Amino acid sequence: MFQCSLCKLRTHQWCFLLFNVLLFHCLLFGADFVEEYLLQPTPGVYTDGMVVNVREKARKLDLSNARENVSQAYPVANPDACLNSDLFLLSIVFSSPANITQRHAVRRTWANQTDVQGFPVRVLFFLGSTQTSTAQEDLKRESDLYGDMVQGHAVADSSLRGPTERTVLALRWVIAFCPVARFVLLTQDSVYVNLPAIGSYLLGLHRHPEDLYLGRVIQRDPPDRDPNSPGYLPPALYPNKYLPEYCDRTAYVLSQDVVRKVYIASAVVRAPVSADVFVGLCAQKAGVAPSHSSRFSGEKHIRYNACCYRYLFSSAGMGGKELERVWADLGHVASPCFCKDLTFFFLPPPRRFGFCQRSFVCLFVCLSVCKITQKVMDRFG
């Protein structure tokens, strides 16, 4: 009956239905692009005394004397890693000393690039302290062989304290030994990073690259109030209902000035939180708002699809063999394509940024399509 009714539709009615179907797909697949456009931070006027103080200290910060005492904080300092004065993007890859196999996989794949559209890029591994002298000797040999490692005197455990200490030490190293880098990407050795895509995005920014804190933003994340949890954050230390907006730890980009601001603010932030939340707290103290991009996968491992991986900035949870398989496949010349599964891949859980906006759009579109369909059936049924 319904098929016969559809046959009675006139041309303009068919056009109207097709328009609504097209609108539905545009809203569904374009939600990420609209979200990024609407949720970009606006330049702020800083009146808070602490924010002004942090930004002024960051502007005047000078760590040139750190070169004289490198062995105290960095057993493997690699002070000459950034000799290129035109360095565009420095990637800091956090890795455990024992993850040598994974580091080799990263070296053979996405880190095996020296420029993006002619602009120099550099990839360095950042490690914490080793447990034994034998492990330290192995690490030193690896560093001498590849010249792409920095080691900081940070605790080697995987608790909240360890990653936070390594992050602060990494930022300090960047300020002291690589102030020429225009942008700094912080990531992990289990993440696939699309340097050409990130570089192209950064080159296309239509504003001066200042106060850039770019990643997959997490919003409305409540602090841990469980007294028995290692991440317990007492209300006396942080009374707010939600943590500040922050970029997921798997991959995010800071402009050089934000590296300095976050490092200065880290001296006054004492909350026992994860490293990515810690950076978000420091950024808030410095008056820096994070910018959201759905092209960062966050904690999600994206099932491999050549079109999507050429568009993505990052994908988490990648083992060495998968990194090499993906890298080999992406090396082939590709025909033009579109990652039509993007919205489904990146639909965030309720505490992720943009969920309310995305849910409203999907609900509105679904109700509209249902209403239109019902009218058609009532008229021709």
Condensed to tens digits (0 to 9), the pLDDT of residues 323-362 reads: 999 999 887 756 666 665 554 444 443 344 444 444 444 5
pLDDT number for residue 359: 47
Q: Which is higher by pLDDT, 163 or 333?
A: 163
For the stretch 60-116, pLDDT in tens is 888 877 777 766 789 999 999 998 888 999 999 999 999 999 999 999 999 999 999
Q: What pTM, to 2 d.p., does this model score?
A: 0.79
For the stretch 164-183, pLDDT in tens is 999 999 999 999 999 999 99
Partner residues linked to 321 by β-bridges: none
Q: Which residue has the tokens 């590709």?
A: 334
Mean pLDDT of 281-299: 93
Q: Is the pLDDT of residue 38 over 60?
A: no
Q: Which is higher by pLDDT, 51 or 381?
A: 51
Provide, for the chain, the percentages of residues in helix, strand and coil under a 3-state DSSP scheme, each rounded to the nearest 5: 45, 15, 40
> Contact at 8 Å (CB) between 51 and 283?
no
For 40-344, CATH number? 3.90.550.50
Residue 124 phi, psi dihedral angles, 5° rounding: -130, 145
Cα–Cα dist 154/157, whole Å: 9
CA 102, distance to chain mean position in Å, is 20
Q: Domain map of the chain by residue range?
A: 2-31+354-380, 40-344
DSSP 162-225: HHHHHHHHHHHHHHHH-TT-SEEEEEETTSEE-HHHHHHHHHT-SS-S-S-EEEEEE-S-----
pLDDT category, 36, cuts 50, 70, 90?
low
The tokens for 115 are 């420029």
Mode of pairing for the β-strands spanning 291-292 and 314-315: unpaired
pLDDT category, 19, cuts 50, 70, 90?
low
pLDDT number for residue 338: 64
Q: How many CB atoms lie within 10 A of CB 38?
A: 10
Q: Is the pLDDT of residue 248 over 50?
A: yes
DSSP assignment, residue 23?
A: H
